[in-house]
Structure 1
Amino acid sequence: MNLTLSWQSFAVLSAVFAAMTAILAKVGVAHMNSNMATLIRTVVILMVTALIISARSEWQKPSGGSWVGWTCLLASGVTTGLSWLCYFRALQLGPVSVVAPVDKLSVALVIVSGWLILGEPFTLKGAIGGALVVIGSLVLIL
């Protein structure tokens, strides 16, 4: 059986796993240094990803791409790590029911960045959706 999921399916799964991550991380950092918790999470992600790549026989020598692509991937890794460190510290200090939605302000930032940096279309639907995310986060933190 060939199971092919759409980008929408993967996006929904991402949201489900992100919600589970927030709850599990909140419990996990309750009595542990948040930076150590982030390291543990990172090692687990590395192992799970290596298992998936192994199971699918997708190991390959990294080649090709431009220096811009490689630089962006490396910078993405740095920003991911910084995001996780901040997220885990926020979870340690604040309620998960507020921290996780505020973290999702990234949605509005990505909508604007996609338009300004990547030249993606800026639609009324996107503007309204982004504004609602911002309003929802503001309602939670004020």
Structure 2
Amino acid sequence: MKPWLTYAFTAMLFAGVTTVIAKHGLNGITGEMGVVLRSLYVALFVGTFAVFFVPMGEWQTVQRENLFWLAISSFTTAVSWIYFYKALKEGDIATVTLIDKGSTVVAIVLAWLIFKEAITLRIALGAGLIIAGLLVISRR
């Protein structure tokens, strides 16, 4: 298996576990407080990761364009997390996470529009199945 596939499946596994743990952690607090606490912990863990695993020379390769686009990405991540936690607080995990994973379809379309990534039959079929799953699970 290619390393990036291993990384992607590891991310998938941890994202799934994260959601279940987060739902439990929201007991007795608001979704807003949950996302604030989670974000502080994430900053702590990522900062620690940076100290141990990002070589000093790597910091010198960062350009303004990197800072600009990653700042925008951080903003969209924050908005996503805020609304995800608000939904998770009140909704069930299966429905909330599947709707959230509809972001895959948004990413596919944006990758096609911005980066000219190909939408193959395989990708279109997978995206269609995600949309179908979204419709099935989100209806009561």
| TM-score above 0.5, yes or no | yes
- Percent identical residues: 27
For residue 66 of structure 1, report the CA deviation from its aligned partner: 4.5
Question: Which structure: greater helix fraction?
Answer: 2
Q: CA RMSD in A?
A: 1.6
Q: How does 1:59-74 map to 2 (within 5 A)?
A: 59=56, 61=59, 64-67=62-65, 69-74=66-71
SS of the aligned residue for 1:117 comes to helix
Q: Which structure 1 segments of 5+ residues have no match?
A: none
CA distance in 2, matches of 1:136, 1:45: 30
- Residue 54 of structure 1 is matched in structure 2 by 51
CA distance in 2, matches of 1:109, 1:126: 12
Distance verdict in 2 for CA 1:58–1:47, change over 3 Å = farther
CA distance in 2, matches of 1:66, 1:52: 22
Distance verdict in 2 for CA 1:30–1:118, change over 3 Å = same
Q: Which structure 2 segments of 5+ residues have no match?
A: none
Equivalent position amino acid for 1:124 in 2 = L
TM-score by length of 1: 0.89
For residue 64 of structure 1, report the CA deviation from its aligned partner: 4.0
TM-score by length of 2: 0.90
- Residue 107 of structure 2 is matched in structure 1 by 110
